[in-house]
Structure 1
Amino acid sequence: MKKLCLIAILFIAATTYGQIKMTGVVRDSLNTPLELANVVVINSATNALESYGVTDQQGRYNLELQPNTSYNLQVSYVGLKTFEETFTSPEADLNRDFSLQADNALDEVQIVYEMPVVVRGDTVVYNADSFNTGTERKLEDVLENLPGVEINEDGQVEVEGKVVNKLMVNGKDFFDGDTKLATKNIPSNAVDKVQVLRNYSEVGQLSGVRNNQDNVALNIKLREGKENFWFGNVTAGAGASPDNELYLLQPKLFYYSPKYSINFIGDLNNTGEVALTRRDLRGFGGGFRSPSRTSGTDLNLGDNSLNFLTNQNNALEIESKLAASNFSWAPNPGLDLSGFAIFNSSRTLSRESSFIRYTDPELGIPDEAIDQRSRERSDQGLAKLSLKYQPNFSNQLDYDILGRLSRDSQDQFLTSSVVGGTVQTDEITPFSINQNLNYYYTLDENNIFAFEAVHLFKDEDPFYNAILGNDPDGDDPYDTTAEALGLDQTLDTYNIAQDRRIKSNQLDAKLDYYLVLNKRSNLNFTLGTILSKQEFNSNIFQFLDDGLVFEPTPTINDGKATNDTEYNFSDVYLGVHYRVKTGKFTFTPGFSVHSYGNKNSQFGETFKDNFFRILPDIETRIQFKKSEALTIRYDMRNQFTDVTRLAQGLVLNRYDNIQFGEPELQNALTHNISLLYSSFNLFNYTNVFARAGYTKNVDQIRQLTDFESVIRTSTFFNSNFADETASLFGRIQKTFGKVQASLNVGLNYSKINQFIQGNRSINEGFTQTYTPRIRTNFKVAPNVTFSYRYSVTENNQGGGKTTFRTNAPSIDFDAYIWKKVTLRSRYTYTDQDLGNGNSQSFQNWDASLSYRKDRDSKWEFEIKATNILNIDAQVRNSANNFSVFVSETFIQPRFITGRVVFTL
């Protein structure tokens, strides 16, 4: 890492060598410094933007220019007359102050060159062309060029360290604001401006009474000529691989007009280019947000979806199909209708080899080598319809309905060094309906009412089947577990299965009343409730050789092999918050009083737990400058589990993972402290973001685990020992002319109490990650991005310590040659030190070469190669409470495809 830092310093020095600085102050006619005035310098010979600046609170600007060059200079400020002149830069640094005069003829003002960045209150507007280099093809390429904007590893867009939770195109939601669909599919040549909307509120009536500083939205402004006209592109391709013929078809069509919009995104390929993963679709909330998210109550309904073997992007074979359509229609100024429908299908062949080492030899658990092969099938469908009715500013009604239906299955073939061969099948066909109703009413300037309600119905039916070998006359590794489950041990195989059915029905609603006391303070009274009902049924059975079904009686857990559990939860709460602004500070102290009711019925018994609790919270925001702030928040939260942890009957998660619940589980209590700092400085081109958090869990629900060989049996209880986590993430980004340098730092510490074989031990983990990066943004010369990720993971697992070190340099290269050819390349190398003198490494190299006659050409031809080095597998190391994993995930071989892109 030291060598990389030295190279970075030399690279920045080389690119900035020979430049001069132009500094000064911009004032108005009264000699008052102007903040957020724009200073633009254009090269007179090329008419290209040379440098730009935005003044700070003292009216100062700072530019970098080439010496002995003729420039056109523009200094502008809203409401004042623009200053323009032509000058030749000297060989030494230059200081110039400017005084802008009142403009009485604004209609005559013409700014001949657009500012790259304009700040208007809470809105930051980027001019895309000022940052584009010619190699951009998608919206994500445009966003990655913008200062202060990042796309993280999950494909989410971050602005000043905050995740963007809504994306719009010309003010209309794009697939309900989903950022990944937008960044991967909207063509870059359609983007004119990128508007960052900080402190974003979807309800204008509440913008002045709620804290919205964590809400960030993006609005993509289309170029002229893209409205009232279809635009987009269609990509078709083919290629060859060692085993299959490759194909690809990706139509992306968009239509926008002032009244309505229609979008269609299609994807059909077997090249491993996954438009949306199963994880993406599960997190596709359709804009639904729980009304009780700030109440202090966290109710977990559980997730019973299948755990597929590998990440969908890393597999031997991947076939993907996607069809997604989105529309919006405004029949009149007060009514907006919108909706979307998505169908996603995938077929995946995966393989993973792993070695599990148990860290405490006193537990008597043997180490295990496992080879897993999996064939996965997934079909998922989503559809949503939304209505927004706002006849005037004082009234707004929103209604949304979202339906989900999926069919997932997985066949696995496992070979274990301890258990032997196993065949597993998982299937699930869940569906859910989510409804949302909101009404906002402003009685007068001092009294505002807001009603929000969300209803969820979810039905899940996971099925599991495992077949293991058995010698009726000998000893087998699974015999002890089979006896405990009550299985018939006289057969040649153990063919065990379990049906489960989980139905969830939940209403989450609240009524807010805002009393505006004055321009700086208001009171908020909240009356809310959460009503939830879950039903859980399951039974374990064994398929016999004659096709009959045997229902065993276990010798453990008092013989309880089935579940028929009903769990009812209620929370009625009243909250009071006071919000006041004084100078740079905004204080929002408050509390909520909760009346909780829990009841679960099973095996002829009913278990109840009713109690009251007061949950305090406070938030303090310090606004140092318009673009610099610190937010500190503390809250206390109650956490409640789902029905599967309360159910007493056995649950077969896998053949080697058995659990049963505890009906008298109580809630866990957490204390949470968070700090958020952000600074967006256009004067010195420096952006700083930091986020820190600390959580302490009291009465945490923990697992009590016993092992028989590698077969684990777990139950749950409320631990008297507190668990703690602390984290810190920071990013600093600075631009030096055409070079952008950044450093990301992540620190995570956890202290977890674990209970194995009846013994308590403490697992402490500490992870450090450092990622420096250098990125160029030249208009003509090729651009490169150097990145280096260094991480250290230390785990003290009571019985032993493990340390993993990862070094992962990468380089991205793109060039726009002769204004016709685009060359792109990405190379990554990952080396992992296992801490025992051994290390493992893998590398990957992808590249593409495309040709188009010019930027306005309708046709483009591309050759793309992935996994050029033909690497077989990627290596991953990790550790949990009591074991260390080393795994190899096998990936697709080298693919080479030819593609044709037609642009509408």
Structure 2
Amino acid sequence: MYLMEKILIGFLIFFSLFASAQKITIEGVVTDSLGSALEMANVVAINIETKGLDGFGITNPEGKYKINVKANTMYNLRFSYLGFEPKEYTISVAESDIQKNTILVEQAENLDEVEVVYEMPVTVKGDTIVYNTDSFVSGTEKKLEDVLSKLPGVEVSDEGEIEVEGKTVTKVMVNGKDFFDGDSKLAAKNIPANALDKIEVLRNYSEVSQLRGVTNNEDNVALNIKLKTGKEKFWFGEITGGVGLDDRYLAHPKLFFYSPKYSINILTDVNNIGELAFTNRDYRRFTGGFRTRTGNTGTSFSVGEGGLGLSQLQNNKAKEINARFGAINFSYSPNKILGLSGFAIYSYSNTLLETSAKRSYISSNEEEITTTNTDQTSNLGLLKFSASYKPSENLQVEYDILSKFSGSEENVDNLSIADVTDQITENKEQTPTSVNQNANVYYTLNEDNILAFEGQYLIQTEDPFYNAIREVQPFVNILPLDDTQSNFDINQERKVKTNKLDFKADYYYVTGAKSNINFTLGVTQSSQDFDSRIFQILDDESKLSFADNDLNNRVNFKFSDIFLGFHYKLIAGNFTINPGIIAHNYQAKNEQLGTKVSNELVNVVPDLFINYKLKESENIRFNYTVTRNFSDIEKFANAYVFSNYNSLYQGNRDLESALYHNVSLNFFSFSMFNMQNIFARLNYSKRIDAFKNNSSIVGINQVTSTINSNLEDEVLSGSANYQRTFGKIKVSARASLSYSSLNNIINNNPSISESLTQSYKGSLATSFKNAPNLELGYNYAINNYDNGGNETTFYTSTPFIEFNASFLKNFIFKSDFNYYKYNDAENTVENEYGFLNADVSYQKKDSKWEYSIQLTNLLNNTELNQDTFNELFYRTSTYIVQPRYAMFKVTYNL
């Protein structure tokens, strides 16, 4: 660790010296002929000798600008502002700062606005920010995510999630056409960097133009990628193939076609080097662009796939991963009023996992050591078709159908060492399917009256199968197993069928230039059937079925929510105020064991949204919501269901709803004047009559049910992010904290579980065009858990370095290193490891061929660590990852 600290200190000194190298500042004020300040005017400094862009700036609300340039250099200083005649000055920069004010005169006739906008590195026009990518890249970038990370105010996570000014990007388009329904990860990790021309950030984005002025879109951000071509119809893309030692291989053909009327995107990926293009997590979160219909109605009712809890990857790493991925996306506009689009996605993966873990059970003071080997095979598929009809600005009609299907199988060998030693084999299979249809109509009667109708219908089936073969009989008092057999072969079948309808009608009446009212009428209807049974396979392969009601479920559950809402939106000065109230009539009924249990409830919940605009691109936002939460059928099913080999779940047919209060306060600030981005969030939630686990635990075996508890849960979380560009150096700092106090019931004894998690990150990154670039940073995480007075704390320190450089004209070298130090407060767990990757590529100028060598996990680290906690136990684990490998790759660019 001391070596890493010395390296970081050395690099920090280097950055400090470089940042303090002699730079001259040109600053001043831009006004119009009346002396009024011009905000968002563009100023660029063009090096007369090199013809390159050495600096640029954008004026703030006071018309001030500031540019850092080189000393002893001649510059053309250009000023421009849409609707005004541009001005240019020749300036000789010596070794002292320069003050240069200018007055722009309004032009008689508009120039070509597109030409003026696209000359500038950054242009702001209303809610749209346009980045000229050539002004920010160095030539070492390969994918869209590499380019986005260079832009001020933009951040990209390792998972490909894009944030702009602290807000998550909800849609990505290419030349105005949705890219796989706007999925940010597929776009960030697949669109080639050399195809990009401009990136448009669309703030306050609304997919329905008619609703833009009457709804709150402040958190909606979309990206539109402009491609680098002047052709009307064109193909672009790349075909990559690679081979390596130990029979490693990869193939990544990616083809894109764009024209004014239609587009096609084809993505493929075949490899055995641990790269997953589409994960199980991606599959679950992928909505296909479906907007949530009941997200803001004061009701939370989910019928998400229950499944089997398949093993998850850590940091997208595993002992071995063999993956295949194929996807095609199209869009077609036969005329200006009709748009058709769709996609098909298929993903296959075979994953080997190996984990060693220690569980410390709170109530029983038992300790379990497990060694787990998992072989998981997953097939995932999605099909989507969409149609949009917009014959006029007053009418928009949409239809979507999304089908999701998957087949997963997992075989687990588990050695459990506790008070007894047990060799356990688990087998899990599931093939869930769903079809979701969506229809929307938006109609503007006149400038004061707007109607919106939105409907969604879901059909979903689930069939998880679970099998455990054990040497030791579990749950002796619950499962009447035949103990004369050579082992205990326990099986469980489950089937869940769901039909769910959501419909919402909105009427918007514009009461003035800055106010409107909104009436909402909606309904959610759901019907579910749940069947399950537990049985034993005997040595002669016959089935031993159990007639006990506690081991067989046959449940029907119906849920209904009819609601009526009213909201008023007012813009008063810098305030936007949007209070509302929603009245609900709920009915829930479950039928099982020959009897029915019904619940009816009338509930009225308020909500409040306030936005205060401090200045352009700076605001404070307050949001308060009350949500009534309902569970789906599986928590009502009275018979036992296996969660895993040592855990049973029993539903509660008398379960009622829970009430959640949520308050959030957000601050956003983005300044083009000094390239500074600040955002902070504070969130508090309180759960009343919350769903609580009521657990009974003997040794390591646990039986859990869900109850409504009058013990209130509280969660307080906050985060802050600071990002600023100083010349060619980008400084970032982020901190997040989360405190939760949760009540649990274990062996009929109330218990409080408290956790405090802290995460801190700081980094410095350069963005030189003709010099090597470096990013270095430090992550520090503290996870403190206090479970009924049993406290433990885990620490993870992660310094990291990324380096990329062009050399010998045609070569590019890229490398990244992440070092981990993991330990608990008592130092009973301690581990240090690092991951070093490198890539060297060669491509002649104007050549379509690129050759590269990819080196992964150069230090041959074999494991990483993770800690988790719940109301029953702490868990710390060691997770085996793929060893070092080297690949030779060839890429052909179309």
TM-score normalised over the length of structure 1? 0.96
1:563-602 matches, cutoff 5 A: 563-602=553-592
**In structure 2, what is the equivalent of residue 473 of structure 1?**
none
Q: SS at the partner of 1:292?
A: coil
Question: What is the one-letter code of the residue matched to 1:117?
Answer: V
Deviations 1:171-191 (A, max 9, x none): 000000001111111111110
Counterpart Cα distance in 1 of 2:490 and 2:476: 9
Q: Structure 1 residues 9, 683: closer, same or farther in 2, change over 3 A?
A: farther
**In structure 1, what is the equivalent of residue 454 of structure 2?**
452
Cα displacement (A) at 1:153: 3.7
1:316-465 matches, cutoff 5 A: 316-358=319-361, 360=362, 363-418=363-418, 419-465=421-467
Q: Structure 1 residues 105, 570: closer, same or farther in 2, change over 3 A?
A: closer
Deviations 1:803-830 (A, max 9, x none): 1111100000000113310100010001
Counterpart Cα distance in 1 of 2:433 and 2:118: 53
**In structure 1, what is the equivalent of residue 194 of structure 2?**
189
1:193-272 matches, cutoff 5 A: 193-225=198-230, 227-241=232-246, 245-272=247-274
**In structure 1, what is the equivalent of residue 844 of structure 2?**
853
**In structure 1, what is the equivalent of residue 57 of structure 2?**
53
Cα displacement (A) at 1:2: 9.6
Q: Single out whichever of 106-115 and 13-22 deviates more from structure 2.
A: 106-115
Q: Structure 1 residues 747, 61: closer, same or farther in 2, change over 3 A?
A: same
Cα displacement (A) at 1:482: 3.5
Q: Structure 1 residues 787, 227: closer, same or farther in 2, change over 3 A?
A: farther
1:59-78 matches, cutoff 5 A: 59-78=63-82
Cα displacement (A) at 1:250: 0.7
| Matching residue within 755, 778, 781 for 1:788 | 778
Q: Structure 1 residues 716, 128: closer, same or farther in 2, change over 3 A?
A: same
CA contact (8 A) 1:227 1:255 kept: no
**In structure 2, what is the equivalent of residue 472 of structure 1?**
none
**In structure 2, what is the equivalent of residue 284 of structure 1?**
286
Deviations 1:57-76 (A, max 9, x none): 11000111222210111000
Check if 1:764 corresponds to 2:768.
Answer: no
Cα RMSD, aligned residues only: 1.6
Counterpart Cα distance in 1 of 2:489 and 2:888: 48
| Matching residue within 517, 520, 525 for 2:519 | 525
**In structure 1, what is the equivalent of residue 479 of structure 2?**
485
Check if 1:79 corresponds to 2:69.
Answer: no
Check if 1:21 corresponds to 2:25.
Answer: yes
Cα displacement (A) at 1:800: 1.2
**In structure 2, what is the equivalent of residue 900 of structure 1?**
890
Q: Structure 1 residues 342, 302: closer, same or farther in 2, change over 3 A?
A: closer
Q: Structure 1 residues 226, 676: closer, same or farther in 2, change over 3 A?
A: farther
**In structure 2, what is the equivalent of residue 121 of structure 1?**
126
Check if 1:11 corresponds to 2:15.
Answer: yes
Counterpart Cα distance in 2 of 1:10 and 1:897: 33
Question: What is the one-letter code of the residue matched to 2:876?
Answer: V
Question: What is the one-letter code of the residue matched to 1:687?
Answer: N
Question: What is the one-letter code of the residue matched to 1:314?
Answer: K
Q: Single out whichever of 526-535 and 8-17 deviates more from structure 2.
A: 8-17
Counterpart Cα distance in 2 of 1:298 and 1:650: 25
1:643-654 matches, cutoff 5 A: 643-654=633-644
Question: What is the one-letter code of the residue matched to 1:550?
Answer: L
Q: Single out whichever of 305-314 and 650-659 deviates more from structure 2.
A: 305-314
Counterpart Cα distance in 2 of 1:340 and 1:111: 36
Counterpart Cα distance in 2 of 1:549 and 1:112: 74
Cα displacement (A) at 1:286: 0.3
Question: What is the one-letter code of the residue matched to 1:78?
Answer: L
Deviations 1:839-863 (A, max 9, x none): 2121110101000012x32000000
CA contact (8 A) 2:801 2:816 kept: yes
Counterpart Cα distance in 1 of 2:773 and 2:604: 56
Cα displacement (A) at 1:113: 8.2
Cα displacement (A) at 1:16: 3.5
CA contact (8 A) 1:876 1:887 kept: yes
Counterpart Cα distance in 2 of 1:230 and 1:357: 57
Q: Structure 1 residues 111, 382: closer, same or farther in 2, change over 3 A?
A: closer
CA contact (8 A) 1:22 1:94 kept: yes
Counterpart Cα distance in 1 of 2:230 and 2:890: 24
Counterpart Cα distance in 2 of 1:400 and 1:553: 44
Cα displacement (A) at 1:877: 2.2
Deviations 1:477-514 (A, max 9, x none): x35x1442111111110001000001111111100000
Q: SS at the partner of 1:288?
A: coil
Deviations 1:76-99 (A, max 9, x none): 011111001211113111111100
Check if 1:873 corresponds to 2:863.
Answer: yes
**In structure 2, what is the equivalent of residue 545 of structure 1?**
539
| Matching residue within 716, 721, 724 for 2:706 | 716
CA contact (8 A) 2:689 2:712 kept: yes
Q: SS at the partner of 1:102?
A: coil
CA contact (8 A) 1:310 1:889 kept: no
Question: What is the one-letter code of the residue matched to 1:203?
Answer: V
Counterpart Cα distance in 2 of 1:122 and 1:141: 24
**In structure 2, what is the equivalent of residue 773 of structure 1?**
763
Cα displacement (A) at 1:5: 8.0
Question: What is the one-letter code of the residue matched to 1:48?
Answer: G
| Matching residue within 653, 662, 666 for 1:672 | 662
Aligned length: 885
TM-score normalised over the length of structure 2? 0.97
Cα displacement (A) at 1:108: 8.4
Q: SS at the partner of 1:181?
A: helix
Question: What is the one-letter code of the residue matched to 1:293?
Answer: G
CA contact (8 A) 1:190 1:226 kept: no
